[in-house]
Amino acid sequence: MAESVDGGDKDVYDEINITPMLDLAYVLMIIFIIMTTATVQGIRVNLPKASATPTLAKPQTKAVTITADGTIYLDTYPVTLNELENLLRQYKAANPNLPVIVKGDATVQYQKVIDVLDLLGRLDITQLGLVTQRVVK
């Protein structure tokens, strides 16, 4: 490519001007620093004191989970079927309207779920929920 002697449109540029890119990088870095420190610090307030006893009761719902290998959990603790019966009987004595939800893995043997449902029926637990996953179409 031949260079124009009079400095016309065909001048060859040997360098790239990176000043606008550096300006943008500095502005983005400053915005990032400001946003990060603003979200970490928050606003300081003097919080009121509450009594030592909570006013809201803990949720009484118990979750029985049956994993793919057939292990039964009460909330997050592994239990046998007999232990599950004893524990649920104790919870039922404390709360006659004890709500229980059952979460069974899709690949678990159906008999395990039936055993748990039969146990809940024997304990006269009427507030029962079966957890499923919603299919999005």
**Over the stretch 46-78, which tens digit does the pLDDT of each residue have?**
666 766 655 555 567 888 888 888 888 888 888
Phi, psi at residue 76, to the nearest 5°? -120, 10
If you count them, how many residues does the chain have? Answer: 137
- Predicted local confidence at residue 108, as pLDDT: 79
Distance from C-alpha of 16 to C-alpha of 108, rounded to nearest angstrom: 64
Domains for the chain: give ranges and CATH numbers.
62-130 (3.30.420.270)
- Predicted local confidence at residue 27, as pLDDT: 92
Q: In the numeric block, which tokens belong to residue 22?
A: 């550096």
User: If you write DSSP's letter for every residue of 61-115 in order, what string do you get?
Assistant: -EEEEE-TT--EEETTEEE-HHHHHHHHHHHHHH-TT--EEEEE-TTS-HHHHHH
- Predicted local confidence at residue 26, as pLDDT: 92
Which residues of the chain have a pLDDT value below 50? none
